A and B are shown apart, each in its own frame.
Chain A
Amino acid sequence: LAKTTQPISMDSYEGQEVNITCSHNNIATNDYITWYQQFPSQGPRFIIQGYKTKVTNEVASLFIPADRKSSTLSLPRVSLSDTAVYYCLVGDINKAAGNKLTFGGGTRVLVKP
């Protein structure tokens, strides 16, 4: 799996947009980029996944430049309940080998009032 690098932590305020950038310089042709969210004492929860350009759902947007060596998760108008750890993962979702995911350290986002 491609190694990912993301900031250890970020602080924000309610109502602001939060952008978390993940670097994955060694991403392979068949790799997808997936983001998960984890609240304390809970398992991670899938947020969004993409291959290239931009993907948007009801929770977030994912921006992927043409070279795919990085990606940015955008959380619009965050609230206190968005305080969590956000993980960027890269891998081939179609591989038969168990779809193993490597979560890494993640980015701790703290939303302040």
Chain B
Amino acid sequence: EADIYQTPRYLVIGTGKKITLECSQTMGHDKMYWYQQDPGMELHLIHYSYGVNSTEKGDLSSESTVSRIRTEHFPLTLESARPSHTSQYLCASSDRGGLNEQFFGPGTRLTVL
């Protein structure tokens, strides 16, 4: 069973608010990822990290930012939420070597009113 956690699971918030979506993993994985997925649609990579103090933009442009101060923690922040940010946000992690299977968290469903 993968040990990757996301909080909150659901968040409804008003326009203009600053929000942080939390993601933590206890597997000691170097690589972590954030994906965005609208209902019934594809997953899009928005951020990833090779390790501590390493962050990169993904394939889909996003107004969110991320940080990686600790190996186990990869929070995503939106400085000013807008209705267009309404989506599901999925966090994942993978080990450096081997099969590099990505383990996904349960996701955060964000609704911005």
Contacts and interface: CB of A to CB of B under 8 A. Distances in A.
B interface, by DSSP: helix, strand, loop or mixed? strand
Contacts of A44: 43, 90, 102, 104
Given A49-B99, A104-B42, A106-B42, A99 B105 contact: no
Interface residues of B, number: 28
A69 interface: no
A43 B42 contact: no
A41 B39 CA distance: 8
A43 B63 CA distance: 22
* Interface range, A side: 20 to 34
A100 interface: yes
Interface of B: 31, 33, 35, 42-43, 45, 48-50, 56, 58-59, 88, 90-92, 94, 97, 99-107, 109
Interface of A: 34, 36, 41-46, 49, 87, 93-94, 96, 98-106
